[in-house]
Chain A
Amino acid sequence: MSLSTSVEMKGREAWITLAGELDAAVAGEFRQAIEQVAEQKPEKLVLFVSGLQFMASAGLRVLVFAKQQMGREVSIYVVGASGPVLNTLQMSGFDQSVYLQESYP
């Protein structure tokens, strides 16, 4: 199963929905989605990931890229992460820098 990525601007918020498997082979698609929304200068980045079954460190690197690309004042929300994906985010300390939520808003 590969990755599906959809992008939507909701006012000043950039919404990206990811589903499938996020590995090093397809992380570039996620990165492109970040680059696309970064141009709109969003105030918030909201990632809906309830359909994400697998995330490797390549996905974490795109989150780091997103923060560095958009600036530290842009808040990142990760919504609906499944157990293992949530565990990876927490083990890597990303829970200190992104908001992990079950639902949004």
Chain B
Amino acid sequence: MARHSIPANLAALATVRQLVTQACREAGLDDAASYRLILAVDEIATNIITHGYQEQGSSGDIAIAIEAGEQYLSVVLEDTGIAYDPRAQGMPTAEDLDKPLSDREIGGLGVFLALQGVDRFDYQHHDKVNRNTLAVKLPQAKR
């Protein structure tokens, strides 16, 4: 398992994507599945940085653990920002997604894209640590 720690600021997002890109390549994921995972991790990390830390006026780090198991490539993000389950925010409905842009609320799409893009998502809060797990199936697991 590869472990990394990045500062919880938006400028570090590019580093997060690089780490996940590298792991996807090593795990043999195809481009489409890799992009889905990279986007999902980027969106959840963005939420942690903006809502978990910055809006609370606090700073900190995000610990990233990446593991290729038998079935899934998993990315685990741990932070000590405010407790926040991404699933708690309602998903946009089909009606919301059909709305013209001129009538749209700004926001809400990041978590939607993240959760749509991965094959497995889990959130836990334990001992003041938020743990978001995002995973996509590995090619051999699909057989």
Question: Interface residue count for B (Cβ, 8 Å)?
Answer: 30
Q: Which of B7-34 contact A (CB under 8 A)?
A: 10-11, 13-14, 17, 31-32
Contact B13 A24, beta carbon cutoff 8 Å: yes
Contact B101 A57, beta carbon cutoff 8 Å: no
Contact B110 A23, beta carbon cutoff 8 Å: no
> Given A23-B46, A24-B50, A83-B32, A54 and B17 touching (CB < 8 A)?
yes
Task: Identify which of A23, A88, A93 contacts B14 (C-beta below 8 A).
Answer: A23
Task: Please give the residue numbers on chain A whose beta carbons come within 8 Å of chain B beta carbons, in ascending order.
Answer: 1-2, 21, 23-25, 54, 56-58, 60-61, 63-68, 71-72, 76, 83-84, 88, 91-94, 96-98
Q: In angstroms, how far is the closest chain B Cβ from the Cβ of A8?
A: 23
> Given A56-B42, A88-B39, A91-B116, A24 and B10 touching (CB < 8 A)?
yes
Contact A67 B14, beta carbon cutoff 8 Å: no
Contacts of A23 in B (CB 8 A): 10, 13-14, 17, 42, 46
